[in-house]
Structure 1
Amino acid sequence: MSFTASSRELWTYIARKLHYFEQALTKQRQAKAPRKRAETENTLRRAGSDLSFAVEAMKRRMEEEQKEGQLFYVDDQIVPPYRFDKRLSVRVSYRWRRTVDDEWTSGSITFVHDVDLRPDYTIPAPKRKPSAARQEQDRQTEWSQTWEHLTRGALYSVRDYFREGGDGDKIPRTFQATVDSHTGGLNNYSTRFWRQPA
């Protein structure tokens, strides 16, 4: 199966819609007065329609992923490092083939990002300087969040590359993530290894 983050999001969406439907059903059963029953019936109908729409979207997504899985697979099982430093990296492994009759070819790409260590002056300075241990803890938390952002972007980029018919032989071994010209951090285009900014 190909990378399935979007499917997990859809499952969460369906679970939420099912919960709303079950709540509406309970309220409908408990309603006694005719006016209240009419209100709860409308709510129940809308909740049922929303749930049906979510299930249909999931079926379409699963069909797409099944079709994609015949030509490429992106491994989303990436373990974070025990400790982070300012140079972050994520290795994404994949396998692909041009047609279902071809043999599978395996490969990987490592995305690298150097965290901007300049202080953020938009955040007010604390009244008391935090301890060295606290500063390190805050840094690790920030770098961990940045690493997760890099990982998501890397996985989506490899998946999207193959979805658009990209040639796996042309994926580079390493890619330095591009940074946002305003923030100096990562954005939604930072890991687009095949679309270099002009």
Structure 2
Amino acid sequence: MRPLRLDNCGLYGASSARAFEKALDAYGRAKAEKKRAETKHDAVSAGMDLVHAVQQMKERMAMEEEEEQRFYVDDSITPPNRFGERLSARVGYQWRPSIAAPWLCGDITIFHDVDMRPDYTLPPPKRKPSAARQAQERQDALYREWEHLKSLALYSVRDFFKDGGNGADIPKVFQAKPDTYTRGLNNFSAKFWL
């Protein structure tokens, strides 16, 4: 099985391949008839799981190849050098209405105004951090929020095209809608078509 390189088939495929090899090894070491029957059942079950994992990976590859014929979302978004409370993520994309049509380009910039009010549900620190430390913690928090916004923007554009959306309908700018309870981003914040 090693020449098949199933360890390169994603996390699920690799773990299924390891489980199958382990079950085969246990079956090969079993001596007693009862133990051989148990380990044979485990090996067959692990083999079926591996077959399912490979089939799932093949289906996903076919779906991704079909999607690559219709659209491409550029995921190389570089973060700014310094973050402010107004964050933005610009996502570039290419699409075509049919495989015979020429590629069209576009982009969307999604903005998010971060609410940096302190969280009073957390206990206060024992010592007040220095100004430099506070500034660094603020930049770290803004970076994490920007990473979340970037991911949501990429998934949003990808999901729009997967659902059959037309790239001409994507707005140039969109203000993310924060969660009313947490004041932060949630899975629906960047869905510009809702």
TM-score (norm 2): 0.86
> Counterpart of 1:15?
14
> What percent identity do the matched residue pairs reach?
54
The list of structure 1 runs, each at least 4 consecutive aligned residues, that deviate by more than 4 angstroms after superposition, is none
* CA pair 40-143 structure 1, distance change in 2 beyond 3 A: farther
Per-residue Cα deviation, 1:111-161 (whole angstroms, up to 9, x for no partner) = 111111111122222222222233233223322222222111111111111
Are 1:117 and 2:89 counterparts? no
Segments of structure 1 that go 5 or more residues without pairing to the other structure are 1-9
Distance 1:115 1:127 in 2: 26
Segments of structure 2 that go 5 or more residues without pairing to the other structure are 1-8
> Counterpart of 2:151?
152
**What letter corresponds to residue 167 of structure 2 in structure 1?**
G
Are 1:176 and 2:166 counterparts? no
* CA pair 20-136 structure 1, distance change in 2 beyond 3 A: farther
Distance 1:180 1:130 in 2: 29
Q: How many residues align?
A: 186
Alpha-carbon shift at residue 51 of structure 1 (Å): 1.8
Distance 1:53 1:147 in 2: 37
* CA pair 139-36 structure 1, distance change in 2 beyond 3 A: farther
Q: How does 1:19-168 map to 2 (within 5 A)?
A: 19-168=18-167
Q: CA RMSD in A?
A: 1.9
Distance 2:17 2:100 in 1: 40
Per-residue Cα deviation, 1:47-100 (whole angstroms, up to 9, x for no partner) = 222221121111111111111111111112223334333222111111111111
Q: Mean Cα displacement is larger for which, 145-154 or 37-46?
A: 37-46
* CA pair 31-137 structure 1, distance change in 2 beyond 3 A: farther
Distance 2:82 2:25 in 1: 48
SS of 2:34's partner is: helix
Are 1:191 and 2:190 counterparts? yes
Distance 1:85 1:140 in 2: 8
SS of 2:84's partner is: coil
Distance 1:147 1:49 in 2: 42
